[in-house]
């Protein structure tokens, strides 16, 4: 192993790593594709990507060890600020549910039967209005600067929630919060896609989105203090993120020159037709990422999934109150913690299995089936223990969210297209959020039949639609393999003649869908 890489990454000597077939299995697991070593060209090439250039003295075992060490180094610097920004922004968004049972409705004189539903909806209206342009601005200004700025604004307006005196003021503040947060989730996934290969991405998304479910509920009595304290923490996190986030591997001062080159090329190697890791902002590529079959279907999947997910976020305290109506406010808030803890297990466990098997669709089908069972339980009985048990099964919705986001991101071929695909995905997810605000209405009582039936139906749609996209992608990959074997290299060259490979996107003959 070249000494410069060995010293900067602090990896064990390659001679201690097996160089038999076992090392190749490890490399295949890391690359996500079957590689072959071309010593003369000094590359590791992949059938569906660009060559990844490495020194010819590297063995397969060396590459496996170096990749592991490089990923650990990137994890330590990239995940933490993204996790903290998303965590506290999510807390600030969701705390309206706990503020509700802590007396907010009484203090703001929210006497209308639909007032709380309108309050939830106002957040998503702001989200929807700015989602797509917001993510395009993230691409232009760069996520390492744009994301801390919008997190700072989110924290400021969250603190302002604590000083709202009327229902109208709170409605306006929730709308502004939606505007500020709209680009955070797609921007965070887009940012991480600069650093991680496609099969690594789902685990990293889960590392912050899963742990977000462990938000510290149940410790604050005053609804105003809830907003003030956690909004102030969000402001502090945004300032920290401004100073610690790194724009890309190419500008990372904490990577050596060798590490930078390897970090760039290992990600770029999966982007069919790409010549650079970070391409110029292009409306054509942005729209190309948004309007293709996979992006559109995944966006529809996230609409259905987020209807359930945000319904749980905003109404779980109320659902628990309907199950245990005589408990205190603090007790009710504490009852919401175990279902969220199980949600962490769902998210991290499914993400790990996805990484090991390089599959996403099958886990969406499984998790959606679990959600289906949960809503059957809600509809079928009023037994408190059965209904509370169903709250734990609904935690599978958070694993679904990770799988759908990663399924969207990995089926793009350029950074700009990925930004567009993620923007569309989260935009449609928040259409589900708007609907979620109206799934549980007080007048329907404890059974909440309309809301539970709606969630039952969306779970069934998730099963059928994800299975359909899975089947189509597998069929399309088979068709492309057959065409490639018939056309040969000459046919592929003619197909690309006079065309910029980077603009072909999913139509590139070397592109294969990941499912």
Going by C-beta distance under 8 Å and a sequence separation of 6 or more, which residues neighbour residue 276? 268
Percent of the chain past pLDDT 70, that is, above it, reads 73
Q: Read off the pLDDT band of 31 (50, 70, 90).
A: very low
Say if CB 190 and CB 204 are below 8 A apart: no
pLDDT score recorded for residue 16: 35
Using one digit for the tens of pLDDT, what is the confidence trace for 73-123?
A: 888 888 888 888 888 877 777 777 777 777 788 888 887 777 887 888 888
Mean residue pLDDT of the chain comes to 74
Residue 345's alpha-carbon distances to 166, 420, 473, in angstroms, are: 39, 30, 29
Q: H or E segment at 53?
A: strand 52-53
Using one digit for the tens of pLDDT, what is the confidence trace for 392-422?
A: 888 888 888 888 888 887 787 777 777 788 8
Mean pLDDT over 467-487 rounds to: 83
For tokens 């709202």, name the residue.
164
Indicate the pTM of the whole model. Answer: 0.69
Q: Is residue 45 helix, strand or coil?
A: strand
Q: Is residue 44 helix, strand or coil?
A: strand
How far apart are alpha carbons 286 and 511 in whole angstroms? Answer: 18
Token pair for 179: 């505007």
Which segments of 394-513 does DSSP mark as H helices, in order? 396-410, 415-436, 449-496, 501-504
Widest Cα–Cα separation across the chain: 76
Query: Minimal CA–CA distance to 143: which of 257, 241, 70, 210?
Result: 241
> What residues are paired with 36 via a beta bridge?
45
In the chain, what are the domains? 3-63 (no CATH), 64-249+280-475 (1.20.1250.20)
Using one digit for the tens of pLDDT, what is the confidence trace for 269-289?
A: 665 545 555 556 567 777 777
Going by C-beta distance under 8 Å and a sequence separation of 6 or more, which residues neighbour residue 352? 203, 206
Query: Minimal CA–CA distance to 274: which of 422, 405, 163, 415?
Result: 415
Using one digit for the tens of pLDDT, what is the confidence trace for 202-254?
A: 677 766 655 555 444 444 446 777 788 888 888 988 999 999 888 888 888 88
pLDDT score recorded for residue 345: 83
Residue 103's alpha-carbon distances to 5, 18, 73, 97, in angstroms, are: 59, 63, 46, 11
HSE at residue 27, side-chain half, CA atoms within 13 A, is 25
Going by C-beta distance under 8 Å and a sequence separation of 6 or more, which residues neighbour residue 68? 11, 30
The per-residue DSSP string of 152-179 comes to HHHHHHHHHHTT--SHHHHHHHHHHHHH
């Amino acid at each position: 192993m070249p000494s410069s890489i060995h010293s900067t990454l602090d990896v064990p000597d390659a001679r201690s790593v097996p160089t038999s077939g076992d090392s190749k299995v490890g490399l295949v697991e890391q690359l996500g594709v079957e590689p072959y070593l071309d010593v003369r060209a000094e590359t590791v090439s992949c059938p569906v990507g660009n060559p990844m250039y490495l020194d010819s003295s590297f063995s397969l075992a060396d590459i496996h060890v170096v990749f592991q060490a490089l990923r650990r180094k990137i994890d330590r610097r990239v995940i933490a600020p993204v996790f903290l920004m998303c965590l506290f922004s999510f807390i600030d968004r969701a705390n309206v549910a706990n503020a509700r049972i802590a007396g907010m409705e009484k203090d703001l004189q929210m006497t209308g039967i639909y007032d709380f539903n309108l309050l939830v909806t106002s957040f998503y209206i702001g989200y929807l209005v700015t989602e797509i342009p917001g993510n395009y601005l993230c691409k232009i200004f760069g996520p390492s600067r744009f994301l801390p700025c919008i997190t700072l604004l989110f924290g400021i307006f969250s603190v302002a929630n604590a000083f709202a005196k009327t229902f109208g003021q709170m409605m306006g503040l929730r709308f502004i919060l939606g505007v500020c947060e709209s680009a955070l989730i797609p921007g965070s996934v887009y940012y991480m896609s600069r650093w991680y290969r496609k099969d690594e991405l789902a685990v990293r998304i889960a590392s912050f989105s899963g742990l977000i479910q462990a938000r510290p509920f149940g410790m604050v009595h005053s609804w105003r203090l809830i907003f003030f304290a956690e909004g102030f923490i969000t402001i502090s996190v945004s300032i920290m993120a401004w100073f610690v986030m790194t724009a890309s591997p190419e500008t990372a001062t904490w990577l050596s020159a060798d590490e930078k080159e390897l970090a760039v090329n290992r990600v770029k190697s999966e982007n069919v037709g790409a010549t650079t890791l970070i391409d110029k902002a292009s409306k054509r590529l942005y729209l190309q990422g948004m309007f293709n079959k996979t992006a559109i279907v995944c966006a529809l999947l996230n609409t259905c999934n987020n209807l359930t997910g945000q319904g749980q976020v905003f109404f779980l305290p109320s659902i628990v109150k309907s199950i245990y109506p005589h408990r205190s406010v603090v007790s009710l808030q504490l009852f919401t913690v175990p279902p969220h803890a199980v949600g962490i297990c769902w998210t991290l466990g499914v993400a790990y299995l996805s990484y090991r098997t390089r599959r996403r669709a099958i886990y969406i089908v499984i998790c959606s089936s679990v959600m289906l069972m949960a809503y059957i339980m809600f509809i079928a009985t009023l037994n408190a223990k059965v209904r509370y048990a169903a709250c734990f099964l609904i935690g599978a919705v958070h694993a679904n969210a990770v799988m759908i986001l990663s399924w969207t991101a990995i089926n793009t071929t350029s950074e700009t297209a990925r930004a567009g695909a993620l923007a569309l995905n989260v935009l449609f997810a928040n259409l589900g959020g708007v609907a979620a605000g109206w799934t549980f209405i007080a007048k329907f009582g404890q059974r909440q039949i309309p809301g539970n039936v709606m969630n039952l139906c969306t779970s069934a749609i998730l099963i059928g639609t994800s299975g359909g996209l899975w089947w189509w992608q597998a069929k399309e990959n088979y068709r492309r393999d057959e065409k490639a074997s018939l056309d040969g290299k000459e046919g592929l060259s003619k197909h690309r003649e006079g065309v910029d490979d980077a603009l072909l996107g999913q139509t590139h003959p070397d592109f294969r869908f990941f499912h």
